[in-house]
Structure 1
Amino acid sequence: MRKYKTMVCGLMLMLCASGCTSLPPAPPPAVECLKPEPPPAWVMEPAPNLIQLLDQIISPSEEPSNE
């Protein structure tokens, strides 16, 4: 029984000594919330009227050509 107590005491001493000498866990990294960047200027402009743009590009022909 005495041998058992000595062995348990020795193990406890080793656990305590290793716990005191081990490094503490590293603290979590500080996370900084960054402010979002302002949107680019083209996002703030009104959307173009694509129908007018297509009317300028595609115009009906005057008369169909008969060849």
Structure 2
Amino acid sequence: RQLSPTLRYSFMELARQMTPVSLPSIIQRKCNEFVLTFNENPAVELPRRIMHNGVWKESEHRLAEVTNRILDT
């Protein structure tokens, strides 16, 4: 649905407050590396690499930790 201009502004202001001023350099490097190498991947291999196979890579314990961290904020 469309938000009223006032609600949209309030929502976007909250989103801006949650966004860090700058990303850590390691994150910037990883993103830049991804962009630089993304098109180097063969087109045939790409769908396989971006599709989720339905299996969690993390352990159930790790998933529970992440879930708790998200829900405790």
Q: TM-score, normalised by structure 1?
A: 0.26
Structure in which a larger fraction of residues adopt helix: 2
